[in-house]
Amino acid sequence: MTEKEKNEFENEDSIAGSGCEVLIPFDERKPLKEIERLIVKQFRKKIWAKFIKAIKEYNLIKNGDKIAVAISGGKDSMLMAKLFQELKRHRQMDFELEFIVMDPGYHENIKELLIDNCKYLNIPIKIFESGIFRIVDDIAKDYPCYMCAKMRRGALYSKAAELGCNKLALGHHFNDVIETTLLNIFYSGNFKTMLPKLKSTNFENMELIRPMYFIQEEHIERFTQISGIWPLNCACMVAAKKTSSKRYEMKELIKNLKSNFKDVDKSIFNAAKNVNMDAILGWEKSGKKYSYLDFYDEEL
């Protein structure tokens, strides 16, 4: 990317939107082989080992799987693609990969950057258009994010099924998990987290997996910057200037809490694994709600 293109990318409000943080690389793009070595050498403990841990701990991949790896062009999904390629290179499991890119209506410059990055990183993507930005802008002008996310997920599932895949991999990471947990507590009044895998309710025999579940965002950012990659940041053409991000509020909250308690993020994450069913007021299971009073008079 030339200096002129970099300046245009940083200053193009119609692409990134106000308030979007731009992840700036430390230097020019490193050679591909060097970028791939970073994963298993310099970032072995912080990224590679945690990728493997999630796969093993939650049984995310089985022999015979055909996995659709969803790539948005952002730092998370591009790293996830390289992690999958590295895993396949190790031949530890027998599985197939499809790298899919859903174009919701990106600005042409954004699309070119995405394609160029994937070509440089040797990620063989299959791009398909959905027109979601246009649709959402028409039908959900005030609060488009929920509708957009739902439609994007459906489009990715459909493409994965079309390609004969049984799994769809998304690039959500550790920080996404704890931020989602807090968002549900503060704004929805429930305790619900982001699961490492779940079965699709609308696509038979399709499963969503999140293999970056244990990887912290700061290490993804550093890997990307050292690699010299300019990832897509906020490429939304609809909501970037219209709505504030509650997720950014959660990021700031966690950051402030960590100044006094450095492991507060880990505590939030672990809370979802250590729910004491004898000490909560109520819960929901398979669509049915329960109260602790339903079991209060049972004999011990």
What domains appear along the chain, each with residue ranges and CATH number? 3-295 (3.40.50.620)
Distances (CA, A) of 10 to 36, 108, 209: 27, 15, 32
- How confident is the model over 128-166, as pLDDT tens digits? 876 665 655 555 555 555 556 667 778 899 999 999 999
Q: Is residue 48 a contact partner of residue 86, using CB atoms and an 8 Å limit? A: yes
Q: What is the Cα–Cα distance from 209 to 60, expressed in whole angstroms?
A: 6
Mean pLDDT is lowest, of 9-18, 115-124, 187-196, for 9-18
Q: Please say if the pLDDT value at position 242 is more than 50.
A: no
Please, what is the average pLDDT of the chain? Answer: 85
Q: Is residue 80 a contact partner of residue 69, using CB atoms and an 8 Å limit? A: yes
- How high is the pLDDT of residue 146? 56
The pLDDT > 70 percentage for the chain reads: 81
**Cβ-based neighbours of 68, under 8 Å, separated by 6 or more:** 98, 99, 100, 156, 159, 160, 163, 165, 167, 168, 169
- How high is the pLDDT of residue 255? 93
Residue 10, H or E segment: helix 3-11
- How high is the pLDDT of residue 298? 83
Q: Beta partners for 66?
A: 96
Q: What is the Cα–Cα distance from 124 to 111, expressed in whole angstroms?
A: 15
The whole-model pTM stands at 0.86
- How confident is the model over 52-108, as pLDDT tens digits? 999 999 999 999 999 999 998 999 999 999 999 999 998 878 999 999 998 877 778
- How confident is the model over 205-220, as pLDDT tens digits? 999 999 999 999 999 9
Q: What is the Cα–Cα distance from 8 to 109, expressed in whole angstroms?
A: 9
